[in-house]
Copies of this chain bind each other. A is one copy, B any other.
Amino acid sequence: MINVEMLSTGDEVLHGQIVDTNAAWLADLFFSQGLPLVRRNTVGDSLESLVAILRERSEHADVLIVNGGLGPTGDDLSALAAATAKGEALVLHEAWLQQMERYFSDRGRVMAPSNRKQAEIPASAELIDNPVGTACGFAIQLNRCLIFFTPGVPSEFKVMVEQQILPRLRQRFTLPEPPICLRLTTFGRSESDLAQHLDGLALPPGVTMGYRSSMPIIELKLTGPASERDAMLALWPEVKKVAGESLIFEGTEGLAAQIAGALNARSLSLTLSEQFTSGLIALQLGRENAPLLASEVVPSQEETLAQTARWTAERRENRFAGLALAVSGLEQDHLNFALSTPDGTHALRVAFSTTRYSLAVRQEVCAMMALNMLRRWLNNGPVAAEHGWITVVEDLYLP
């Protein structure tokens, strides 16, 4: 088992002005490739800290992925730290300097003198190509550890990891078989409620049940070695039974993508009317290429459930839409949800106990409630089931 670690660098990351999405992306990718990280570390733009942590981790890790600090500015210190830790000089990589100059001239720009620094790497380093930017990566061997230095710009980082670093790791090490990971996502249940029911399941050896709670959803994840695949598949229906009505999708597709796919497959167009969610449902479905007709975003106002249902039915007719979906009402009170379909209009008045969350999270909850009604109708189920912390206070059906 090779011991892989990551080091994120930069004052902006260390001090939290940037959320470290590169680390999450890398960790997730490596996990799925059978290379789970054993530790992640973050330090700032200090040469002393960088040199110290490179030396420290190089005594423990077989592979260290360092991210950030390869830019053109004075606080970009990774190459200098690598050279210092290794006890060697930085040298100008002429071929990369030419490539950078080409990169700028291809875009009709002149390279700033400050960019020249980006072609300087430690004397013993192997250059790692960056096909989409001016920061080259590089690799050095320090103590037991093979260290890769990568740029902080997410698009450049990702291409370099996928196209340059993973192939080198596959060549150098025999990678273990990737783990099996079965996932499902629930909506409307609490983690302790799910855990109470799942703790009784007997897990095969080496298999773990993980909970990823990210309001308003909880993802359940059964992870284990490839050798336990059959046992895990046999156990999976039990997990789904515990999730019950709260299960909204399996795998990693996401609710909006699943619905967009179903609407497109059935040639069903949709029009939206959003109060409170303020365009969030349109945005989520729009990003998945759902067949949306013109939609509206309206300020919140008090409506009876009968009004919401009737206006949604009218909207479906007036817009010549297959389906119309609406969220309405003042949040202090309960919110109304209506789905108008060729079989009639289903409407629900719902209470959520989510007041302690931010507005953005409460909007996510309502968008998911609305999308879930649509999902349930598309699956020929009743549009609502009360469960967990979702309370239906009134429902209505207009034929």
Chain A interface residues toward B at CB < 8 A: 8, 11-12, 14-21, 23-29, 31, 36-44, 49, 53, 71-75, 107, 112-115, 132, 134, 152-153, 155, 191-193, 195-196, 199, 208-214, 219, 221, 272, 274, 278-283, 286-287, 292-299, 353, 356-357, 359-360, 363
The 5 closest A-B pairs by CB, nearest first: A279-B279, A16-B27, A278-B286, A16-B28, A279-B282
Chain B residues, CB < 8 A from A280: 279, 283
- Where chain A touches its partner, the secondary structure class is mixed
Indicate if the CB atoms of A282 and B297 lie closer than 8 Å: yes
Given A37-B15, A42-B40, A279-B280, is A272 in contact with B287 using a C-beta cutoff of 8 Å?
A: no
Chain B residues, CB < 8 A from A279: 274, 278-283, 286, 295, 297
Given A114-B192, A196-B112, A297-B282, is A21 in contact with B18 using a C-beta cutoff of 8 Å?
A: no
How close is A241's CB to chain B, nearest CB, in angstroms?
A: 18
Given A71-B192, A191-B73, is A25 in contact with B16 using a C-beta cutoff of 8 Å?
A: yes
How close is A95's CB to chain B, nearest CB, in angstroms?
A: 20
| Separation of A287 and B277 alpha carbons in the complex (Å) | 9
Residue pairs across A and B with Cβ atoms less than 8 A apart, 18 shown, are A11-B208, A16-B24, A16-B28, A17-B210, A17-B219, A17-B221, A18-B212, A18-B214, A38-B43, A41-B42, A72-B195, A73-B209, A155-B357, A278-B283, A279-B283, A283-B363, A293-B299, A295-B297
